[in-house]
Amino acid sequence: MGAELAGPTWNIVQDLHDILAYGFMQNAFVAGTVVAIMGGVIGYFVVVRRLAFATEALSHGGFAGATGAVVVNQDPFLGLLVFVTCAGVLMGILGDKLRGRDVAIGATLAFSLALGSLFLSISSKLAGEAVNILFGNILAISPGDVRFVVIFACATLLALGVLYRPLLFASVDPEIAEARGLPVRGLGIAFMVLLGFAVATAVQVVGVLLIFALLILPAASAQQFTPQPARATLYAVLIAIACVWAGLCIGFYLPYPPSFFITTLAFLTYVVTRQIAPRRLASSSRRRARLVPASS
Amino acid sequence: MLCESSPQILSGDGSAPKAVVEFDNASVAYGRRTIWGDATFALMAGDFVGIIGPNGTGKTTLLKALLGQVPLAGGSIRVLGKPPGRGNPFVGYVPQRRSLASDLAVRGYDLVMLGLIGHKWGFGPASAAERRAVDAALESVGAQEYADEPVGLLSGGEQQRLLIAQALLTDPKLLLLDEPLASLDIKSQHEIVHLIAEIRTSRQMTVMLVAHDLNSMLEMLDGIVFIMDGRVIAGSLDDVVRTDVLSRLYDTPVHVHVTEDGHRFVVGA
């Protein structure tokens, strides 16, 4: 991991040249960038639809799918994809009933992780694989995996592009969207399928445990800055790309995994924007007293 | 139930030529339990009626039946001469809500815009014509000033104005409002009622409004639809806003006070 290098020259062009001289870094940049773009776009909907915890649970549940696939001699990515997508569809079908069901989601999450730990003990091949699934290993991503990541991320983005306006309507105001004849339930299920794709893809970069970093934090940070959906989506994508690129560069020079740096940067961005943004909003909006409930 | 003071409300045998809303012995049931039945009345263009009744009697269900979201167990409903259907652009709807999520970081403008373009697949900026339509709708409810704020930061009255603007975008002939006055202060209630009355007059739109507190709108209403003991009854204010009827309706003593200049106030509801 660049251990033979003295360190950054602080000449960005020279440093990038050094970094991208390695095939594994090129792969990491391609996969990381594509996942960042996808994460920013789908993350906006995750935040607006209040699915942050569900996303986390979906991802952790993927651990069981990935380890289970290894037990039966299949590709962990495939197992993850199948498991997460099925879980997503189930969540989508439950739909509104899931809202506020933190305990039920948490229980399922615990069970999935328990299954994962069982598979882990069954298969001896899993010891090394498990850490990668949990925390991601973007520097070891193979060209074949990159192709997978690019295809799935692009398919997810394409689908989100087609669904964009109805999905936004159904996310912001499901009741009126339904009255207008939109298939709100179908859109919810379709979104959960896409979220399954996105989770399975993003796991390649940050692992199942750090998925928050790319699928939620950039979008949550972006929403602090602007109430315009299109702009917030763009900011989320830019924040995610910045975190991935910076994380990869730092990870190249330091003997610690990039997923740690990517997550840390996303976390810091969120903390800082939360501190800055409310003041900005307060100064731009006319503060008014909350209205008291009238007799009703 | 033909009402002397409000001739627009007809006894609904379905023969009225240009009725906007016609109920003909309509009933709705969940499973075996009948929510309400015997609903027979008609509303004409420009009628403004309040829908009242105790909690859980099916006031919202009545609106949903008009939207085609709840099937009828019997009878028929016609909206502009056709059976109710989802996505009818001639029906505007402002659903009941506690309020929009306080952390919903979406501009009021975008919320209103979704009412116009939210059903179109794909993405991309709105057209100039669509932006003009949204601007006009915002202006008609007086919401331009705060349309760029995140809706979560707006007051209940401001949110209601935005939702009404959204409902007006498709130029509906029938506007359904579910408790638009709930959790509003008296001033906001007054403003919203007057706004709705003004829109009703200027657009000759039929308005059905579910309400708990009648006082803020009694002067504006042409009639009342009330739901009691599983029956839907349409009547004039004189028929319904009476001490005996309202006390029976709410199953608690309610007094209707009539001032010297003929204004009615409902006390104790």
- Residue B230: CATH number of its domain: 3.40.50.300
Evaluate whether residue A105 is within a structural domain: yes
Element at B41 (helix H, strand E): strand B33-43
Evaluate whether residue A65 is within a structural domain: yes
Q: Which positions in chain A touch B181 (Cβ < 8 Å)?
A: 294, 296
Residue B15 C-alpha, separation from nearest chain A C-alpha, in angstroms? 28
Q: A6 burial class (0-12, 13-18, 19+ CB within 10 angstroms)?
A: exposed
Evaluate whether residue A139 is within a structural domain: yes
Write down the pLDDT at residue A4. 53
Evaluate whether residue A292 is within a structural domain: no
Evaluate whether residue B129 is within a structural domain: no
Give φ, ψ of B256 to 5 degrees.
-100, 120
User: What residue in A sits closest to B125 (Cα-Cα)?
Assistant: A230
Contact between B141 and B161 (Cβ < 8 Å): yes
Write down the pLDDT at residue B173. 95
Evaluate whether residue A7 is within a structural domain: no
Evaluate whether residue B154 is within a structural domain: no
Write down the pLDDT at residue A91. 85
Evaluate whether residue B46 is within a structural domain: yes
Domain with B248 in it: 21-98+173-267
pLDDT per position as a tens digit, B99-143: 566 677 899 999 999 999 999 999 989 999 999 999 999 999 999
Evaluate whether residue A245 is within a structural domain: yes
Evaluate whether residue B56 is within a structural domain: yes
Q: Which is it for the CA torsion A226, A229, A230, A234, positive or negative?
A: positive
Cross-chain residue pair B114–A281, CB shorter than 8 Å? no
Residue A167 C-alpha, separation from nearest chain B C-alpha, in angstroms? 8
Write down the pLDDT at residue B17. 56
**Is the model's pLDDT at B8 over the cut of 70?**
no
CB-based contacts of B93: which residues, under 8 Å, 6+ apart? A176, A179, B63, B67, B167, B175, B176, B177, B178
For residue B54, the SS3 value is coil
Which of these, A68, A86, A78, A59, lies nearest to A209 by C-alpha position? Answer: A59
Domain with A147 in it: 12-284
Confidence of residue B204 (pLDDT cuts 50, 70, 90): very high
Residue in A162, A176, A281 closest to B166 by CB: A176
Residue in B97, B117, B213 closest to A295 by CB: B213
Write down the pLDDT at residue A106. 84
Write down the pLDDT at residue B14. 45
pLDDT per position as a tens digit, B52-107: 888 888 999 999 999 999 999 999 999 999 999 888 889 999 998 755 666 778 99
Tell me the pairing of strands B21-30 and B74-79. Answer: antiparallel
Q: Which of B114, B175, B217 to probe by mutation at the A interface, max A CB count within 10 Å?
A: B114
Residue A56: both structure tokens together: 């986390």
- The proportion of chain B whose per-residue pLDDT surpasses 70, expressed as a percent, equals 91
Residue A90: give its domain's CATH number.
1.10.3470.10
Write down the pLDDT at residue B6. 39
For residues B256 and B242, give the distance between their C-alpha atoms in angstroms, rounded to a whole number: 6
Write down the pLDDT at residue A263. 94
Evaluate whether residue B259 is within a structural domain: yes
Write down the pLDDT at residue A219. 95
Cα-based distances in Å from A44 to A38, A214, A270: 10, 11, 14
Evaluate whether residue A67 is within a structural domain: yes
Evaluate whether residue B263 is within a structural domain: yes
Q: Which residues of chain A have pLDDT under 50?
A: 1-3, 279-280, 282-296
Per-position b or e across A119-158, b if 16+ CB within 10 A of its CB: bbeebeebeebbebbbbbbbbebeeebbebbbebbeebbe
**Is the model's pLDDT at B3 over the cut of 60?**
no
Overall domain count for chain B: 1
Evaluate whether residue A296 is within a structural domain: no
B-facing residues of A in 179-198 (CB < 8 A) are: 179-182
A283 close contact with B: CB closer than 8 A: no
Write down the pLDDT at residue A287. 43
> How many other C-beta atoms can be found within 10 angstroms of the C-beta atom of residue B122?
11
Write down the pLDDT at residue A279. 45
Beta strands in B98-200 (DSSP E): 174-178
Evaluate whether residue B131 is within a structural domain: no
Evaluate whether residue B68 is within a structural domain: yes
Contact between B109 and B151 (Cβ < 8 Å): no
Write down the pLDDT at residue A32. 95
Write down the pLDDT at residue A40. 96
Write down the pLDDT at residue B53. 85
Overall domain count for chain A: 1
